[in-house]
Structure formats: structure tokens, C-alpha cells
Amino acid sequence: MTIVRHPSPFQPYGSAMAAFTATLRYFWGSIAFTLVSLVLAWFVGLEYGKTIPAALSTLFIVAVLAVLEISLSFDNAVVNAKVLRTMPPIWQRRFLTWGILIAVFGMRIVFPLLIVGVMAEVSPWQALVLAATRPEEYARIMNAAHVSIAAFGGTFLAMVGLKFFFDVNKDVHWVRLVEEPLTKLGKIEAVEIALVMILLYGISRLLPEAAVLPFILSGMLGIITFVAVEGVSALMGVDEEGSALVAKSGFASFLYLEVLDASFSFDGVIGAFALTNNLFIIALGLGIGAMFVRSLTIMLVEKGTLSAYRYLEHGAFWAILALAALMLVGSVTHIPEVITGLIGAVLIVLSFASSIRQNRRDGV
């Protein structure tokens, strides 16, 4: 007698649960970091506010900052994954360990202190004391540096995005009407530098006279930094064989990713002051976001998501260009952080949906 086995009605739910569990394993470290950070946030809130409602308010602000950082840096995770998959394994591990320490503690804590120290002509320790004892003054100094920070970060990100779209070897196009002509325009030597310089000059005409020189100088420094990082990659022989050269190319890619992360973090660090002046609360909230971006990067690399969804990378670079434009325009007028975060997320989602539709057409 033949026994006919009918599929269980619960089988689809079991498959979905298995897929969810497999995905969740990438985020356990971030979840643990979040729980520790929330406990610390509770005590910070009690220390500064002296009441339970103040501590609860601090927890809420930390949660909002974490979501803000993730929304602003989702496209950063996609670009990180693109670079990481070409790096030697040892440099992948170094970026995911040393890199996250630099991202969380360096860019979210030390770097703002250095900015305040330079602007106020005090030592980093004095800037830390200022942040702890006079947060309003600390925030004022940080906001005073906004034009220079936006110019540097905006121009660096603009160069990153334009390099992708001006690549003459690029043969996959998401927004074909725009992207295909850009690849032809890329045949012009250093065309991206010329365009960014024109943009810098145009925006500088809208700034107060006192802000023009810092804006242009910082923007030029952003361009120089991009060219320098690209030059390091070329000098270290990224495409050549040999263990020593592979190690050097890994270092060049590591350096590129750190500068890229710094440029992405500028907007989150400045935007955080709209919610709180407390450096420690900002560091906890943005640190949680940075950890989740790291987990997302690992997942994208190990699952080969960029190869499976062909337009996801395009969406990330469009989001980078959008963020660059918003940072530069933000030097002239305030742009709400929710708009900055949503634009990147929407572009990523649209490119993901387009990839799924294309896969179905191809029978994948």
C-alpha cells in the first residue's frame, strides 16, 4: 500500500520561521549592544534629570537616534558590502572589528570632541568636560561648525556617487534614461571633480560672506581626500597579485571605508543635536545604529545579496548622491533629518523592488 503524504499546512510557516532565525543570527551582537546601551542610557538620564520621567525620556531619545542613524546609513551598509566582498578575508575581519570601534567611539565621540576643541581652541579633554558640564555651549560650537562639516562630507559623498555613475565600464543601469548617458559622460577626464567644484561655487554664492571661505576650503578638502584615498588604492596595486600587494590593497579599501563612514556619520552627529545636547546620549543612540549597520553589512556580504538583487547597489549610490546634495544644501537652509533619512530608505526600497521584478522576468 502506498502512503500518500500531504504537505503540512504549517510547512510555509516553518520555512518562514527558519529563514527569520537564519537572518536574526546576524543581529544578536547588535541586540546585546542595544540592551547594554539602553541600561547605560537609563543611568545617564537619572544622573542628569534626577527623575524617572527624565530617564524614560532619555531612553526614547536614544531609540530615536538609533533609528535615525540606521535610516541615514542603510545605503552605507550596501556600499560597505560592495567593497568588503572584494577585500582579503583578514581585512574584512579588521574592518568589522577595528572599523566598528572607530565608527562607534572615533566618529561618534572622539571626532565631535576634536571639532569642538579646534573651534573653541581647547584640548579634547576640555571639550569633553564642556560636553559634560555645559552641553548647551558644546552644541552651539558643534552647530557653528556645521557649514564646514557639511561641505566636507557632501563633496566626498558626491565624488563617491558620481564615480559610480561615470564608470565607462558600467553596463547595468537601473534608471537607464539617466545612468546610460552618465557612463558616456565619464569618458571626460576628471568630469566629476569639475561638476562638484561648480556645485560648491554655486552654493557658496547663497551663503553669508563669513561662511564662504570655510565652505569652499572644506569642500576642496573633501575632494582632495577622495582623490588621495583613490590614489592610495592605485599606488598599492589593488589589481595586482602577490600577498604583500593584496594586504596593501586591503588597507587601501579599509581606509576608503573609514572615510566613507565618517562622511555618512557627519549628518547623524549634527542632526542628533536637534534632539539632545548630551554627548553621551548621542553616542549611545548613534552607536546602536552603527552596530546594526555593521550587522547588516555582514549579512549582505555573506548572503551575496548584492549579486542576487542587481539594482540594490544602484539604489545605494543614488541615495549617496541624494544625501550629498542634502548636506550641501543644508549649509544654506535647514533640512529636517526625517527627510534626509527617508530619501535614502525610499531609494533603497525602490531599487530592491525593481530587482525583484527583473529577477521574475529573467525567471530567477
Dump the DSSP string for 172-198: --SSHHHHHHHHHHTTSTTHHHHHHHH
d(CA 184, CA 273): 42
Nearest to 326 by CA among 310, 313, 339: 339
d(CA 14, CA 279): 44
| pLDDT for the residue 116 | 73
pLDDT digits (tens, 9 = 90+) for 148-179: 888 888 888 888 888 888 888 888 888 888 88
d(CA 268, CA 257): 17
Task: Point out the residues of the chain with pLDDT beneath 70.
Answer: 1-20, 72, 104, 108, 119, 232-249, 263-264, 266-271, 273-275, 337-338, 341, 364
Task: Give the distance from CA 341 to its chain's centroid.
Answer: 11
Nearest to 115 by CA among 93, 147, 74: 147
Non-local CB neighbours of 108 within 8 Å, separated by 6+ positions: 265, 269, 282, 283, 286, 287, 290
Domain coordinates of the chain in residue numbers? Answer: 28-361
d(CA 290, CA 287): 5
